[in-house]
Amino acid sequence: MIRVLLADDHSLMREGLRSLFDGRDDMAVIADAANGRTAVALALKHKPEVIIMDVSMPDLNGIEATTQILKKLPGAKIIALSIHRDPRFVAGMYKAGAMGYVLKDNVFKELLRAVKMVVAGQRYICPDLTDVVVASLANPAGSTATPLGNLTPRERQTLQLLAEGNTMKRISQHLGVSVKTIETYRQSIGHKLGVHSMVQLIKLAVREGIVSLEP
């Protein structure tokens, strides 16, 4: 039995994904999460064989959640799920350690096959993304370069929480550090990215996939 964890911030999507696995003898959903932080906690608790990971989620996005999970559970197989075709998102998930990438438009046709392939140790890429992958391989520096590469994981999480509208105090409570530490992170982020106003930070976070404008 392949034990599966679902992580997506839309309840209807999670319900739809569950329906794919209902009644199967070889796969079962053992838990689901509505944000990246919960996904990490549930993955460490249940240790599923496969994790279906939405790329854009509140609190902690799919790329960061994937990175954190695989540090503790290197044997887990993670399949990215997204509306995004941008090569930066695709490359970001694979670089974080994901074994597959499925577009939400095709999820009900492709996900079960993707699960079987990654469990067998094979990578899966949505056929509709073949041209994107080829283009990124032809121009790796230009297609996947991001100004976020110099940020630490904690700075990237702070940037996401700031861009989602959280106050310094709330972020400090959320991350278990002082407000002064969060202010230091904010200053470091601005210095590294050359961006200092909240409007500019939010625009950059959306552009780079740290947060999403998905409804």
pLDDT per position as a tens digit, 82-141: 988 877 788 888 889 999 999 999 899 999 999 999 999 999 988 888 766 655 554 555
pLDDT for 113 equals 95
Strands 50-54 and 2-7: parallel
pLDDT per position as a tens digit, 39-55: 999 999 999 999 999 99
Residues 80 and 158 in one domain: no
pLDDT per position as a tens digit, 159-191: 888 888 889 899 999 888 999 999 998 889 888
With 0.85 as the threshold, say if the pTM is over it. no
Low-confidence winner among 53-57, 64-68, 208-212 (lowest mean pLDDT): 208-212
CATH number at residue 155: 1.10.10.10
CATH number at residue 105: 3.40.50.2300
Rg, the chain, Cα only: 17
Two tokens, residue 173: 């409570």
Does the structure show a pLDDT above 70 at 144? Answer: no
Which residue range(s) make up the domain with 175? 147-207
The amino acid that residue 190 corresponds to is G
Residues 158 and 85 in one domain: no
Whole-angstrom distance, CA of residue 137 vs CA of residue 132: 9
Hey, CA dihedral for 37, 12, 205, 100, is it positive or negative? Answer: positive
Residue pair 143/118 in contact by the 8 Å Cβ criterion: no
Residues 26 and 116 in one domain: yes
pLDDT for 36 equals 94
Residues 194 and 126 in one domain: no
Residues 118 and 14 in one domain: yes
In a domain, 212, yes or no: no
The total of structural domains in the chain comes to: 2
Residue pair 86/58 in contact by the 8 Å Cβ criterion: no
pLDDT bracket for residue 210 (50, 70, 90) = confident
Burial status of residue 119 (CB atoms within 10 A of its CB: 0-12, 13-18, 19 or more): middle
